[in-house]
A and B are shown apart, each in its own frame.
Chain A
Amino acid sequence: MESHALPAAAPALPDIDVPVWAWALVAVAAVVSYFVMLENGVVLSHVAETLHEFFHDGRHFVGVPCH
């Protein structure tokens, strides 16, 4: 007999082992955030200024230090 089940309950979060590539992606994401938000010329000296000025408003808005 088919039971009148409620709409399927939300599945619990599966307890999975997070693969290494996912952590690698986290590192990539952190580096991307760094370039968008914090690069003040420590790593890229010249391109940085262009990047910095382009993202300028966003950087201030997120609250990272700026010149």
Chain B
Amino acid sequence: MKRILGVGCLAGLAAGAAAALFAATAGRGPIRDAIALEDSISHATSGAHHEDLFSRGVQEIGGAVGLVVFGLALGVIFSVVLAAVGPRLNASTPLAASLQLGFFGFVAVVLVPFLKYPANPPAVGDPGTVNERTVLYFAVLGLSILLTWAVWRFYRGVTLAPVAKAWATAALYTTGLVVLFLVLPGNPDPIDAPADLVWRFRLASLGGLASAWTVLALVTGTLLSRPVRS
């Protein structure tokens, strides 16, 4: 257990570094543009320039630190879940198990929440709805993980011919997703920022998270593939 946890910490740090690198390159432009837009709007409406707690440079460093800390936490969670469910996945090697969990984890934790409530750059977001949006975000995250777990339990528990089982599992997951997307309300905030800017930011965010999860799963699987020295 300690070995797999150590591996998870290393892989998590690497994943966080990958995300930070992505943010520093692809994410930097859209965030700067969005903040410039935000400042020009607040200038025009209130005339006052609001004091920033931290400068742009410090926030960029803070953002990178945040991503690495977040990566480490993700690595810990990933490795413990891998230890718990890995042996029951349909995978013959640790690398295959890690990649499988990484794929399903990315879809459940990143992609599904992103499709319902896509990431927004700084200029978008009404401070008055932030608590509501936080609750909604947790709801979609929790329900998405719950749905994945339930479908996995179904897949493991049901006795059907392999092809029928694949179709039944896919149908169940799709139905669950449709219900999830219909039941949860949309993002309450209007998006006034230019669509081009918003989507450049969203793609950078999704790309960064995808690279982080890829690095996480690959590094975990690779390190676990080394023979254990006894």
Contacts and interface: CB of A to CB of B under 8 A. Distances in A.
Contact of B69 (A7, A36, A60): A36
A52 B127 CA distance: 13
Contact of A57 (B60, B95, B117, B136): B60
Contacts, number: 166
A61 B73 contact: no
Contacts of A63: 110, 113-114, 117-120, 205-206, 209
Interface in B57-116: 58-60, 62-67, 69-70, 72-74, 76-77, 80-84, 86-87, 91-95, 97, 110, 113-114
Contact of A62 (B54, B67, B127): B67
Size bin of chain B's contact surface: 35 or more
A19 B52 CA distance: 45
Contacts of B93: 10, 12
Contact of B53 (A13, A32, A50, A64): A50
Interface residues of A, number: 42
Interface of A: 7-8, 10-16, 18-19, 22-23, 25-26, 28-30, 32-33, 36-38, 40, 42, 49-50, 53-67
24 contacts: A10-B94, A11-B225, A11-B228, A12-B93, A25-B80, A29-B73, A37-B66, A38-B134, A53-B52, A53-B54, A55-B63, A58-B23, A58-B66, A60-B63, A61-B27, A61-B67, A61-B119, A61-B204, A62-B119, A62-B209, A63-B117, A65-B134, A67-B125, A67-B127
